[in-house]
Structure 1
Amino acid sequence: MLPSVLRCARSASTRLALHRPLAHFRPHMAPDPSRPVESSIRTKLTDALQPDHLEVHNESHMHAVPPGSESHFRVLVVSSQFEGLPLIKRHRLVNEALKEELSTCVHALAIQTKTPEQWGSNPNLAKSPPCMGGSRGDPTVEEKLKAGRD
C-alpha cells in the first residue's frame, strides 16, 4: 500500500490497463511510481475483486485541473464476484475498495462492472462524455489553476 502522501500526489495523466492472463489481452503492466493514485486504485481493485480484466484510466486531463493531476478516473472491472449482483451492489464493492481514495484525492470515478460472460459478449469500455463541469463556466478557473501550481 502506498503512503497517503504519495497516493494523492499529482502525476502525468495517462491511460493504464492491467490484465490477468487471458489469451486476447495484453500482459500485466507493472505499477508506475510516477502515477501513485492509479497504482493504488489498480492494486486495491485487484486485491479486493481478483478481476479477470481491469482497466484504470486517468481522465483528469479532460477536466479543468492542473497538468499531471490524478483526480478523475474511469475503471472497468471484469470479475466473477459480480455474478448475480445488481449494478448497485457491484458499484458498492468498487467504492468500498477505493473508499480512502474517494474520500481524499479522487474527485470523480466512473465505474463499469461486468461479469466474465458479459465481457466476453461485449468487450468494450464505455466512452466518457466531454467535461461540462462548473469550472468550464468559471471565468476565474485560470487563476485558480495558477494558484494550485504555486
Structure 2
Amino acid sequence: MPMAAEDIEALIRQGIPDAEVEITDLAGDGDHYAARVVAESFRGVPRVKQHQRVYEALGGRMGGVLHALQLTTAVPE
C-alpha cells in the first residue's frame, strides 16, 4: 500500500522537530517521492549522517511501505 506524502512529512517532522520538509510525488503513484529536508540541527553534520537521521525518522519504512525516496538535505541559509 502506498504511503501518503503527508504521512512522510509528519514522520520526518516528528523525528527532526526543527525541519522544514517539502515532499514531491515524482510519479503520481504514491510510491516514488522526493524530499527536501532543511534543518538547523544538520549544521556541521556530514551529509551521510543527515540522510541517516531522515531514514531513522521514517522508522524503517524505506524499502517497504515507502518504495523510493530521492532525498536532499540542507541547513538554512
Q: TM-score of the superposition, structure 1-length normalised?
A: 0.47
Unaligned runs of 5+ in 2: none
Pick the structure with more strand per residue: 2
Unaligned runs of 5+ in 1: 1-7, 10-35, 62-68, 118-150
- Residue among 31, 34, 39 paired with 1:74: 34
Say which one has the larger Rg. Answer: 1
Quick check: 1:116 aligned with 2:69?
Answer: no
Matched to 1:80, the amino acid is E
Contact 1:51 1:77 in 2 (8 A): no
Pick the structure with more helix per residue: 1
- Residue among 54, 60, 74 paired with 1:100: 60
Tell me the CA shift for residue 48 of structure 1: 1.2
Task: Identify the residue that residue 8 of structure 2 maps to in structure 1.
Answer: 41
Contact 2:18 2:39 in 1 (8 A): yes
Alignment root-mean-square deviation, CA: 1.7
Q: How many residues align?
A: 77
Q: TM-score of the superposition, structure 2-length normalised?
A: 0.84
Greater relative CO (CA pairs within 8 A, separation 6+): 2
Following the alignment from structure 1 to structure 2, what is the Cα–Cα distance between the partners of residues 75 and 88?
Answer: 15
Over the matched positions of the two proteins, sequence identity in percent amounts to 26
